[in-house]
A and B are shown apart, each in its own frame.
Chain A
Amino acid sequence: MTDAAIIANVPATASLRVDHDLIAEMVDPGARVLDVGCGDGELLKLLADRKGVDGRGVEIERNKVNACVAHGLSVIQGDADSDLANYPDQAFDYAILSLTIQATRHPKTVLENLLRIGRRAIVSFPNFGHWQIRTALLFGGRMPMTPNLPDSWHLSPNAHLCTIRDFADLCDLVNADVEQAVAFNMSGRRLPIKWSLSTQNLLGEKAVFLLKTR
């Protein structure tokens, strides 16, 4: 199926990213939301359409920021590593970091800031513990390249890849309670929540965590 065909088959407000759909379920209607690494604003638009949120975004790439603002979104050109420190405590109901934490220089500091700025933090990330990546490294002996992580090691913006278990450990380290953790398999289906973290870590291609400071 071509991309155009896929797009034509989904309703106008439906997301092309399964993690976005889940995040939209997690967020309360009318909430104040900061989307760090908001890209072209797809999630912000989705949250505004479905949940009527008061959304703000931070995005590092200038062209994407321009596109967001030109489409009426409140987005600033900035950097998760350097610009989150300026936000006051609990300024937002949710601070979201969608498929971005692996590209930050200091993931722990970024996560701490998210938990400080938002009453809750929502973090999604590609799972480096996925079986495909494990087998690619085991049998190929090279840094894995998958549809989810398509860049070769020297071009990849992902400086801090982690597994679901690694991330759960980091949450513990920064005193965050995991209120919800959902992993998606390669076809975008949610893995049953009752499965153990180890199983999710093996079968999940990406994961979404809903966090709250203890």
Chain B
Amino acid sequence: MTAAPTETMPAPARQPSEVHNPSSEVAHFDASQPLKLACQQVLAPFTIAYKTHGSLNPDKSNAILICHALTGDQHVADNNPLTQKPGWWETLVGPGKPIDTTQFFVICSNVIGGCMGSTGPASINPLTQQPYGLDFPVITIGDMVEAQRRLIDRLGIDQLFAVVGGSMGGMQVLEWASRYKDRVYAAVPIATAAWHTSQNIAFHEVGRQAVMADPDWCRGNYYAAGKTPRNGLSVARMAAHITYLSEDALQQKFGRSLQDRSEVTFSFSADFQVESYLRYQGSTFVDRFDANSYLYITRAMDYFDLRDDHGGVLANAFRGTKTRFCVVSFTSDWLYPTRESRAIVQALNAVAANVSFVEIESDKGHDAFLLYEPTFFATIRGFLNAAALKRGLPGSTEAQQ
């Protein structure tokens, strides 16, 4: 690996502290309740770390499950315990927000394979009493959903009012709606796709190779060595981050502006603001994310192909569905472009499903789903309120706006 070394050079190696003792709620499933995985292995025991907001109504009909993206976590609307930053979707989720926690009971769990308290490669393998590392089984989006289903069962919720998620979260939404048609009243897959394209897989492979080329990765056993593949994971994040933006957004934000200097330095230091920005993004990421989790979760996304799972016809994934769908894409998202959402909509139309589809105009690229976009927010609020009305729920407090 010949990536330029980052200028903000690393703090001592340490594991994100939320792996073993998450500050959120946890649901433990012991050895008698194994999670059967798509790879035919079982995960047992396993733990799901989750956060809830709002309160469950007496007939348990107002629960919204929010599914997080690749590097997200359960802290959707509360301060992240590692970064102390606001939750990753706190603009959308909260009292009076489009996903109104005064009306809905919001659940968000860390995916299995993650590193914020749900069982993942950094968790302790009960067989060895050491972190799993590469002994952790390869997981799929479907496995993540099965783990969530176990949590929902434990919370005593029969039918979720809605399952909402963007990017990889959207894949989980689709998987939920496909597997548990009677348990999902409304589904909101955002900026996502029903299968990973060759380009999606290609970018992920670059990220994984960057991690694995770092000598501190130690073939996945960096935990024991007291190391962490900071440079590799940082480069992976830098490359991925570019795919979350758009050319226009980058150009507008940075152009060819120089970083704290008036001329180029004829060196490989971060002359350009965009370089400095990406290095910062990379270096802050490694402080909160486990490198092996990154490998496993990107793999799960690459394996995702809901069409292939249903005999090559995506519509078969949704046949007989009564779920109300709201599919959302963003004009400048080239990672999961509108045509991917349209394929989902066409499949839903083919089974005469109840579907809304909105393409939101934005120059923010894939990241737009995490940002405040007024028309996006109005769409989510309007869709959820209409669905709540149908379901006999009160809906958002600011419904009349």
Contacts and interface: CB of A to CB of B under 8 A. Distances in A.
Contact of B324 (A74, A75, A91): A74
A51 to B, nearest CB: 17
A70 B345 contact: no
B247 interface: no
Contact of B383 (A56, A69, A77, A91): A69
A68 to B, nearest CB: 8
A137 to B, nearest CB: 39
Contacts of A49: none
Nearest to B346: A86
A75 B356 contact: yes
A66 B394 CA distance: 22
Contacts of B378: 66, 70
Given A62-B361, A69-B358, A74-B354, A83 B382 contact: no
A66 B351 CA distance: 23
A94 B346 CA distance: 19
B356 A83 contact: no
A76 B356 contact: yes
Interface in A105-121: none
A73 B386 contact: yes
A20 B163 CA distance: 36
Interface in A50-73: 54, 56, 62, 65-66, 68-73
Contacts of B370: none
B385 interface: yes
State which size class the interface on A falls in: 20 to 34
A29 interface: no
A76 B357 contact: yes
Contacts of B324: 74
B381 interface: yes
A30 interface: no
A153 interface: no
A48 to B, nearest CB: 10
Contacts of B382: 69-72
Nearest to B376: A66
A88 interface: yes
Contact of B355 (A54, A70, A74): A74
The majority secondary structure among interface residues of chain A is: mixed
A165 to B, nearest CB: 34
A88 B350 contact: yes
B350 A76 contact: no
Given A72-B383, A87-B350, A88-B352, A65 B358 contact: yes
Given A69-B379, A70-B381, A56 B354 contact: yes
A78 interface: yes
Contact of B352 (A66, A68, A71, A87): A87
Given A70-B379, A73-B386, A74-B354, A86 B359 contact: no
Given A72-B389, A88-B350, A77 B359 contact: yes
B349 interface: yes
Interface in B345-398: 345-346, 349-352, 354-361, 375, 378-379, 381-383, 385-387, 389
A86 B379 contact: no
Interface in B270-309: none
A77 B357 contact: yes
A73 B326 CA distance: 10
Contacts of B383: 69-70, 72
A86 B355 CA distance: 13
Given A62-B359, A69-B382, A70-B378, A86 B354 contact: no
Given A72-B386, A78-B345, A86 B350 contact: yes
A62 B342 CA distance: 14
Given A70-B382, A74-B324, A88 B351 contact: yes
A88 B342 CA distance: 16
Query: A65, A74, A87: which has the most chain B beta carbons within 10 Å?
Result: A74
B360 A66 contact: yes
Interface of A: 54, 56, 62, 65-66, 68-78, 83, 86-88, 91-92
15 contacts: A62-B361, A66-B378, A70-B375, A70-B379, A70-B381, A72-B382, A72-B386, A74-B356, A75-B357, A77-B357, A78-B345, A86-B349, A88-B350, A88-B351, A88-B352
**Which 7 residue pairs of A and B lie closest in terms of their CB atoms, listed nearest first?**
A72-B386, A70-B382, A76-B357, A91-B352, A70-B378, A86-B346, A86-B349
Given A72-B386, A75-B356, A87-B352, 13 more contacts: A54-B354, A56-B355, A65-B359, A70-B383, A71-B386, A72-B385, A72-B389, A73-B356, A76-B355, A76-B356, A78-B345, A88-B352, A91-B352
